[in-house]
């Protein structure tokens, strides 16, 4: 803490003590502010480094407001006071008790004694401010940890519900143990990949492009151009990342079984945009398949299609439109994005 960054309050309304003390401190570059009354002194204590007060100024004033301020200090704070007394006299006991952290100087005092007392008070106050900063950082860390724990509990609960739903739905939509095992295992691996992305990031978000690559990179044949991804950087919160990851997995699985990824020449392009609208930010995703076998609308909804609609509309409040064109399937998804991240940033 530099001298130019702090100030000393001086309460010495009688005689020349205030002017003398201010002049001494000014000569060494210490800012000093004279207070006309005890009330004015109390009003400035929050921002002061220390206070210099005369004994008679306290004895002639109503000290209740000062006593309340001293008692009201937070645990880290113990503001230094310098009490100026008359030579040869004993300081009034109840005044030193009132001030607490007090240094007594007899008048007349040597200028160096006052300067040293004030600088010592500066150092003490600086240490107190450092303790304050440390305590605030500990509190922020505690709040972040508590928020992360709540978020983790929320995610675990949702994940278990999701796994339970996948288990039952996969069992109903498959016809053999082997088919059930493959379908269910693939969906669990996809879910785990999304959670890995969330766990790696302090914000508890996952990048959309990484989620798409997790599902589609395997089909790109060493970068042959079968898969095209195009869009800005988008970080998805856990509540959006998990269902969107499941939806991407279902679209990929369907493409591998029946669509563009089921034949060598098929291609998939995924493009996404983010729009800032009056109602909030929205993410649009366009999944387009080309070069695959001719596509006809299914006679009945399979598990993947049902899950796609249910998960995105119920959990993400998304609008989804799937078109079964002769040239290939296309899927348009419109999703509202959260306005704020749940976890505060380090250093805020």
DSSP states along 260-308: GGGSTT-EEEEEEEEEEETTEEEEEEEEEEESSS-----SS--HHHHHH
DSSP E strand stretches across 99-238: 102-107, 205-207, 227-230, 235-237
Residues facing residue 223 across a β-bridge: none
Phi and psi of 319, rounded to 5°? Answer: -105, 130
Does this model's pTM top 0.75? My answer is no
pLDDT in tens, the chain (348 residues): 444 455 899 999 888 899 999 999 999 999 899 999 999 999 999 999 999 999 999 998 999 999 999 999 999 999 999 999 987 766 677 888 999 999 999 988 899 999 999 999 999 999 999 999 999 999 988 988 888 788 777 767 777 777 777 777 777 777 888 888 888 888 888 778 777 777 665 557 889 999 999 999 888 876 668 999 999 999 998 888 888 888 898 899 889 988 999 998 899 999 999 998 877 889 999 999 999 888 877 766 654 566 677 778 877 888 889 888 888 999 999 999 875 544 444 444
- Specify whether the CB–CB gap between 76 and 133 falls below 8 A: no
Residues facing residue 86 across a β-bridge: 107
The DSSP symbol for 19 reads H
Please state, in angstroms and rounded to a whole number, the distance separating the CA atoms of residues 267 and 306. Answer: 24
The full set of domains in the chain, from first to last, is: 3-134 (3.40.50.2300), 174-336 (3.30.565.10)
Closest-CA residue to 98 (of 156, 161, 53, 146): 53
């Amino acid at each position: 803490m530099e001298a130019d960054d702090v100030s000393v309050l001086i309460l010495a309304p009688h005689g020349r003590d205030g002017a003398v003390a201010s002049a001494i401190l000014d000569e060494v570059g210490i800012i000093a502010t004279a207070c006309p009354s005890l009330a004015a002194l109390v009003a400035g204590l929050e921002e002061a480094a220390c206070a210099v007060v005369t004994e008679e100024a306290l004895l002639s004033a109503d000290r209740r407001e000062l006593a309340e301020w001293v008692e009201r200090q937070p645990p880290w704070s113990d503001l230094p006071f310098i009490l100026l007394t008359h030579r040869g006299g004993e300081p009034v006991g109840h005044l030193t008790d009132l001030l607490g952290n007090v240094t007594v100087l007899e008048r007349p005092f040597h200028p160096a004694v006052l300067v040293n007392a004030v600088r010592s008070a500066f150092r003490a106050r600086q240490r107190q401010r450092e303790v304050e900063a440390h305590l605030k950082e500990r509190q922020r860390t505690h709040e972040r940890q508590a928020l992360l724990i709540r978020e983790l509990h929320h995610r675990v609960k949702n994940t278990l519900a999701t796994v339970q739903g996948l288990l039952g739905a996969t069992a109903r939509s498959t016809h053999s143990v082997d088919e059930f095992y493959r379908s269910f295992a693939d969906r669990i691996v996809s879910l785990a990949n999304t959670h890995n992305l969330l766990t790696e990031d302090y914000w508890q978000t996952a990048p959309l492009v990484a989620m798409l690559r997790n599902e589609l990179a395997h089909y790109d044949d060493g970068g042959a151009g079968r898969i095209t991804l195009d869009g800005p950087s988008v970080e998805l919160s856990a509540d959006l990342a998990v269902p969107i990851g499941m939806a991407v997995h279902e679209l990929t699985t369907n493409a591998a079984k029946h669509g563009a990824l089921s034949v060598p020449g098929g291609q998939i392009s995924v493009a996404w945009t983010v729009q800032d609208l009056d109602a909030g930010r929205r993410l649009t995703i366009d999944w387009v398949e080309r070069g695959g076998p001719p596509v006809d609308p299914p006679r009945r909804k399979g598990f993947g299609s049902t899950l796609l609609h249910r998960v995105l509309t119920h959990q993400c409040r998304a609008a989804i439109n799937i078109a079964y064109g002769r040239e290939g399937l296309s899927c348009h998804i419109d999703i509202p994005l959260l306005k704020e991240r749940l976890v505060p940033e380090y250093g805020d």
